Structure 1
Amino acid sequence: MKGTLWCLHGAVGQAADWQGFAVPGWAVKRVDLWRFLACCPMTMPEFGRALNEEARAVEGKQVLIGYSMGARLGLHALLNGGPWDAAVLVAPNPGLESEVERAARREGDAEWASRALSGEWADFLEAWNAQPVLAASDRRQGLSAHFRREVARSFIDWSLGAQEPLWGRLGEIGCPVLWCTGERDGKFTALGERAVRSLKDGELWVAPGAGHRVPWDAPAAFQQRVGEFLERVGS
């Protein structure tokens, strides 16, 4: 094995979302993000340090792969001195740049947290999947209500509104980065185009025909592109 691919799921997702994803020659570690919030609150920088500590204990090359919320959390790991040889980030948002935007996002995410914690779980999932940014994707989240407490906590601790803007720090990432977005996800493609201009070694891949959920909207193309990227950066 060349090393390990650390796969971080998105909001209202689960580690099992990455089942079926594989790159020849690499071990796949599907990270359960909810275990980090199971006992107590955890900030995004604290998460980054915790994940880095786990990755340092594993031999071989280490590659971080994150989707949406998982990719945002991955940015915090990359910016906290992790042992990463490369990273694949799918549709992250490096941050909202005005306090007005962040305050509005915190308010909206607090409402999501309340619905996740005490509302009908099926209604919560239906509303989550119906959001415009996700509606272009065929995949629907089906996470168990067993995780409702951790999901609710994530809308507070890991809210985009609680995240300090990372735009000015992207140049600190030392490893090669493949930034992925979907062709039908115009907002996040524009964010990706801006982000890669700040990276030391970054490239943008826009997945044809895909929406926000690139790894599941275009699984074969995504696996092929990640494999090609890893061959390039590993040679």
Structure 2
Amino acid sequence: MELNYRFDDNGSEETVLLLHGFLSDMSSMEPAVGHLTGHFNILLVDLPGFGDTKAGGDYSMDDISDALAALIGSRWGAVHVVGYSMGGRVAVSLLTNYPGVIKSAVLESASPGISDPSERKERQELDRKRADSILSDYASFIDSWEKMGIFQSQDSADAGQRMRQRENRLAQDPRGAAESLISYGTGIQKSYWQDLPEISVPVLLLAGEKDGKFVAINQRMEELLPNGRFEIIPGAGHNIHMEAADKFGIMVLEFLIGG
């Protein structure tokens, strides 16, 4: 699997890998870059099905971890990682499968998957229905996606930011987006809950105050991670790096510098 990426060499000895969420590409993580540029090199990646990373055929979350680990190991040896939502799930996979390539991790509105078999089956069916909707009428799917309760807190966000987010979503390839749900969506991916106690590197967990589902998930994750710390961001929902960009950037930078 060949991943499209961008590396910003800022003359630092350390690099931060940023992994974006569903229905977006590497450019959606730009709000986090400004706070980190003065201290770290930046590695941005288009995850499979998005941006310029095309991933047709059969592939899985493990294949993505393999590709990322190969990319990191070939040039940087080990990096820090910041993963948002879908990108956070990918980051958990990396932490589990290739602990040697990750120095520390920030998981924003992320989860380790679904452990309950019946819930996994329900989510797989939901993801299949969503994939069908994407292929049927992508613009209408985006409209319905943006009306989900998980994103309602963005109504008070800057109008320009919301427009850029929508344009980025609409710019994605519908087939790639649909394939991502079937290949490494929350329902189909392996559950990493049982692996969390084996992750020894420092992990900062972030969830927005208005994102109750992920607040609960991350509270459970904090209990299982040996070196994990959970912070709730006041006033924010699911997309913290957009809704509270400065707060997010400062917290991430302080964590990465402090360890």
* TM-score greater than 0.5 by the shorter chain: yes
- 1:5 aligns to what? 16
**Which whole-Å deviations, capped at 9, do the CAs of 1:19-39 have from their partners, x for residues lacking one?**
232312112222101355523
| More deviation, 94-103/53-62 | 53-62
Distance 1:19 1:84 in 2: 21
Structure 2 gaps of 5+ residues are: 1-11
Distance 1:92 1:16 in 2: 19
Q: Percent identity among equivalent residues?
A: 31
**Which of 148, 151, 164 is 1:134 aligned to?**
151
Distance 1:113 1:212 in 2: 21
Shift of the alpha carbon at 1:118?
Answer: 2.6
TM-score w.r.t. length of structure 2: 0.84
Aligned pairs for 1:14-53 within 5 A: 14-22=25-33, 23=36, 24-33=38-47, 34=50, 35=52, 37-53=54-70
**Which of 178, 181, 184 is 1:155 aligned to?**
181
Shift of the alpha carbon at 1:157?
Answer: 0.8
SS of 2:191's partner is: coil
Matched, 1:111 2:129: yes
- 1:189 aligns to what? 215
SS of 1:136's partner is: helix
- 2:115 aligns to what? 97
**Which of 77, 84, 102 is 1:67 aligned to?**
84
**Which whole-Å deviations, capped at 9, do the CAs of 1:94-129 have from their partners, x for residues lacking one?**
22222211111111111111111231x221111111
C-alpha contact 2:32 2:248 (8 A) present in aligned 1: no
C-alpha contact 1:41 1:153 (8 A) present in aligned 2: no
What value does the CA root-mean-square deviation take over the aligned residues?
1.6
SS of 1:7's partner is: strand
Distance 2:77 2:61 in 1: 26
Q: What is the letter of the counterpart of residue 132 of structure 2?
A: S
SS of 1:196's partner is: helix
Distance 1:168 1:61 in 2: 24
Aligned pairs for 1:210-221 within 5 A: 210-221=236-247
| More deviation, 42-51/90-99 | 90-99
Shift of the alpha carbon at 1:145?
Answer: 4.7
Q: Between Structure 1 and Structure 2, how many residues are aligned? A: 232
Distance 2:131 2:240 in 1: 25
C-alpha contact 1:180 1:206 (8 A) present in aligned 2: yes
**Which whole-Å deviations, capped at 9, do the CAs of 1:40-86 have from their partners, x for residues lacking one?**
33211121121111111233751111100110111111111241101
SS of 2:224's partner is: coil
Distance 2:108 2:245 in 1: 13
CA 1:61–1:166: 2 relative to 1, 3 Å: closer
SS of 2:32's partner is: coil
Distance 2:20 2:55 in 1: 16
TM-score w.r.t. length of structure 1: 0.92
- 2:104 aligns to what? 86
Matched, 1:222 2:236: no
CA 1:3–1:153: 2 relative to 1, 3 Å: same
